[in-house]
Amino acid sequence: MNSILNITSGDIAGKIIVESGVPGEVFVWHDILYDGPRKPGWPDEETLQGRAKFLEDATGGGLSKCHILETLKNQYNKLGTASKYERIILWFDACLFDQAMLSHILACLKILNMKNVELICVDKFPGIAPYNGLGQLLPEQMASCYGNKRLVTDEQFEFAELVDKSFAIQDNIAFAELSKCHNIPLPWIPGIVIRWIQEQPDEETGLGHLENLILNALKSGCETPTEIFKFVSLKDTPPQYWGDITLWAKVNSLADRIPPFLRIEGPSPRLPQWEGIADINLFRIKKYKLF
């Protein structure tokens, strides 16, 4: 048997875990599991195809459906080898992005009847404020979290399965209940569900929380994507679940509305959501006077 498989949610965090010197192989999971079409638990071919198309759209075509589909299949193939490892260690944050992913991976490991699974969830770190995630840590700080790992309990596996199902089918009734839960096996879930609810379109404006923050940035005088990113980061409540790809997608969606909430000036009609497509510094975002 191999020794340890460490699974985390981002390339930056994965790199820092490697540099921290903790034992074992490091594997990074990629998906936006709080959104998009899917079924609960282990995906079938139809679900993988739907996820790949959704993620291609979510990255503005920065990643192709073919590449994404190959990545997703490789991920589940890797997870399918979990029984070859003496221990599985999951490294995750307390944000919406990470907790939806954690719940899904736990649900899949439950299907595999895995018991040798440990969890490290970091929701704060001394000296770092605001704390948004593992990607902020230095290698030695990451290594210091290793001693906080705890064996995943049967109750956590069961609860993760419920959370994964709720996100997969976008169950508003379940979300309302989860947002009010106390003393639950995964204590970070109510907070992330509340954050998900905040992102749903308001009945009057049709806007979610992140979209409102973008418009507030424009009203405050921000024009460049970098200025908008900094403004929204400061105004949003940690832990921050989104990155530049998600934020640029929100900006683009505001430009696509009829009537549009903003206009984008630059070398292309929409902000590039992936590196290498166009220089993000060449773009300017303008608000319409109506808003």
Note the pLDDT of residue 290: 53
What tokens does 204 get? Answer: 């009057």
Q: What is the pLDDT of residue 70?
A: 98
Per residue in 97-117, pLDDT tens? Answer: 999 999 999 999 999 999 999
What separation in angstroms does the CA of 155 have from each of 79, 208, 267? Answer: 21, 33, 52
pLDDT score, position 1: 53
Indicate whether 25 pLDDT > 90: yes
| Arithmetic mean of pLDDT, 133-157 | 98
Read off the amino acid at residue 78: K
Burial class (CB in 10 A: 0-12, 13-18, 19+), 264: buried
| Domains of the chain: residue spans and CATH | 2-198 (3.40.1360.10), 209-287 (1.10.10)
Say which DSSP state 125 is in.
B
Residues 5, 22: Cα–Cα separation, whole Å? 11
pLDDT on residue 131: 96
φ, ψ at 63 (rounded to 5°): -115, 135
Supply the pLDDT for residue 219: 95
Q: What percent of the chain has pLDDT over 70?
A: 98
Render pLDDT for 33-85 as a digit per residue (tens, 0 to 9).
999 999 999 999 999 999 999 999 999 899 999 999 999 999 999 999 999 99
Beta carbons of 31 and 101 less than 8 angstroms apart? yes
Tell me the longest C-alpha to C-alpha distance in the chain: 64
Query: What does the chain come to in residues?
Result: 291
Percent share of the chain, pLDDT over 90 = 93
pLDDT of the residue at 277: 83
Q: What is the pLDDT of residue 276?
A: 78
pLDDT digits (tens, 9 = 90+) for 224-239: 999 999 999 999 999 9
Mean pLDDT for the chain overall: 95
Centre a 10 Å sphere on the Cβ of residue 176 and count the other Cβ atoms it contains: 11
Tokens of 35: 């959104």
Provide, for the chain, the percentages of residues in helix, strand and coil under a 3-state DSSP scheme, each rounded to the nearest 5. 50, 15, 40
Nearest to 206, CA basis, from 256, 246, 257: 257
**Would you say residue 2 has pLDDT above 80?**
no
pLDDT digits (tens, 9 = 90+) for 206-221: 999 999 999 999 999 9
pLDDT at residue 274 in the model: 86
Residues contacting 153, CB < 8 A, separation 6+: 185
Give DSSP secondary structure letters for 142-202: HHHTGGG-EEPPHHHHHHHHHHHHHHHHT-HHHHHHHTT--S-SSTTHHHHHHHHHHTSPP
Q: What is the pLDDT of residue 289?
A: 60
Among residues 112, 128, 115, 291, the alpha carbon closest in space to that of 206 is found at 291
- Written as six digits, the tokens of 195 are 């954050």
CA–CA gap between residue 56 and residue 51 (Å, rounded): 8
Residue 16 pLDDT > 60: yes
